[in-house]
Structure 1
Amino acid sequence: MASFSDSHFDLFDLPSTFGVDQQKLDDAYRTVQAQVHPDRFASAGDVQRRLAMQWATRANEAYHTLHDPLKRARYMLSLRGIDVGAKNNTAMEPAFLMQQMKWRENIEDAAGAKNVGALEALIDELCDEERVRFTKLEALIDSNSDQAASEAVRQLMFIERVAHEIGAQIERLEA
């Protein structure tokens, strides 16, 4: 078993690359959980039960981080000492800023017109954009282009947030 301070990748014995084999991650997670699940230590002493709980919590956190590509990217960059700075670094390339404004205007127009179809089309557009950007992000991370990867992560975080807002708009309109 890995040590408590090892990376999430080491915990699951996976290569430290952005492209994670989801089946291998799932299998490794189940293996680790089978070893450390607190139920296995129900009759053990307090210290062993507490350690089992800590390991199970660590395994859950590691799994959820590696399973989600955006969390995985942020984690990988943090391992390299790169803070994405999502809260205080809003600098983005001008073309993406223009695209943001266009998406916002389209959301406002569609919501104002109560056009659920247009909002759903925007979500589809964002999903397509997200797929393209994740492919680019993988190449950036795997080639150690950390600053560019950091900006790509911030852009993807924006896209994710906007998609969530559109989903909320659709729910309001359908209610």
Structure 2
Amino acid sequence: MNQYFALFQLPEQFFVDQVKLEDNYRALAAQCHPDRFAAKSAFEQKQAMLMTATINEAYRILSQPLDRAAYLLQQKGINADAPEHTRFPAEFLMQQMQWREDLAEAQQSGDKTALKNLADTIQLSLQQLLSQLNTAFVNNQLEPAAELVRQGRFLTKLQAEISHALP
């Protein structure tokens, strides 16, 4: 079983029970909290700090769907975020260009309603992409899953740009 999933006692799959992830994170963080090791040896303190760092990194990855997907793919020998993956379907690229134009226009005109509508559209597209990603993992379609991760990275970057543009 995969290290991060095993650490949180979760099945190695794309869909994660968020409540169980949170509960297990809190329990693990409490077990390894540095205050619990203040009176211990320097070695034990260092081990606790290393374990805390591992727990935090594992939680960060498992709690973010695209990071979790990339991690699952990495465990199968596929680097979804490798720089040589630059090809995307034409339809996806055209949609990205349109959304970027919409963003630029809304920013130039200061149209907060247009920005919020675009944010909603991107969020809906990301939700649909995550559903497709879950299906790809369930069906063990790893290359399509990797492509969806890459597309999702574009969507989340666009989301961040829209959030930055909103007050």
State the TM-score, normalized to the length of structure 1.
0.90
On the 8 A contact 1:33/1:56 being kept in 2, the answer is yes
Alignment root-mean-square deviation, CA:
1.5
Shift of 1:35: 2.1
On the 8 A contact 2:2/2:12 being kept in 1, the answer is no
CA–CA distance in 2 between the matches of 1:6 and 1:129? 29
On the 8 A contact 1:86/1:154 being kept in 2, the answer is no
The match for 1:60 is 56
Q: What amino acid is aligned across from residue 100 of structure 2 in structure 1?
A: R
- The change in CA–CA distance for 1:6 and 1:75 in structure 2 (over 3 A counts) is closer
Residue from 34, 42, 47 that aligns with 2:43: 47
The match for 2:117 is 121
Residue from 12, 15, 18 that aligns with 1:16: 12
Deviations, residues 97-123 of structure 1 (Å, cap 9, x unaligned):
110111111112222222111011000
The match for 1:93 is 89
Q: 2:166 is paired with a residue of what secondary structure?
A: helix
CA–CA distance in 2 between the matches of 1:165 and 1:117? 15
CA–CA distance in 1 between the matches of 2:165 and 2:18? 32
Q: Which runs of 4+ in 1 moved over 4 A?
A: none
CA–CA distance in 2 between the matches of 1:70 and 1:59? 18
On the 8 A contact 2:136/2:144 being kept in 1, the answer is yes
Q: Does 1:132 align with 2:135?
A: no
Residue from 153, 159, 167 that aligns with 2:163: 167
- The change in CA–CA distance for 1:153 and 1:6 in structure 2 (over 3 A counts) is closer
CA–CA distance in 2 between the matches of 1:51 and 1:148? 39
- The change in CA–CA distance for 1:6 and 1:19 in structure 2 (over 3 A counts) is closer
Alignment of 1:74-93 (within 5 A): 74-93=70-89
Structure 1 gaps of 5+ residues are: none
